[in-house]
């Protein structure tokens, strides 16, 4: 039971940490065996138009 609580707490921690992205939980034989955190960061790039005279 203590181990299950630790896994649950880790999942909740990952969810709170990710602003934009995914938390992926991998399950084998009805048991959680892995948790991954994938965070996305996007940048706004402004294109400058150059006028030629």
pLDDT at 6 over 70: yes
- Does an H or E element contain 4, and which? helix 2-17
Comparing 40 with 28, the larger pLDDT belongs to 28
Model pTM greater than 0.75? no
What is residue 46's predicted lDDT score, i.e. its pLDDT? 77
Quick one: average pLDDT of 10-35?
A: 95
pLDDT band at 35 (very low <50, low <70, confident <90, very high): very high
Q: How far apart are CA 16 and CA 2, in angstroms?
A: 21
pLDDT band at 36 (very low <50, low <70, confident <90, very high): very high
- Does an H or E element contain 35, and which? strand 31-39
């Amino acid at each position: 039971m203590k181990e299950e609580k630790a896994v649950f707490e880790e999942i909740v921690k990952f969810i709170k940490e990710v602003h934009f992205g995914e938390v992926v939980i991998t399950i084998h034989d009805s048991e959680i065996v892995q948790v991954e955190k994938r965070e996305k960061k996007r940048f706004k790039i402004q294109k400058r138009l150059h006028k030629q005279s």
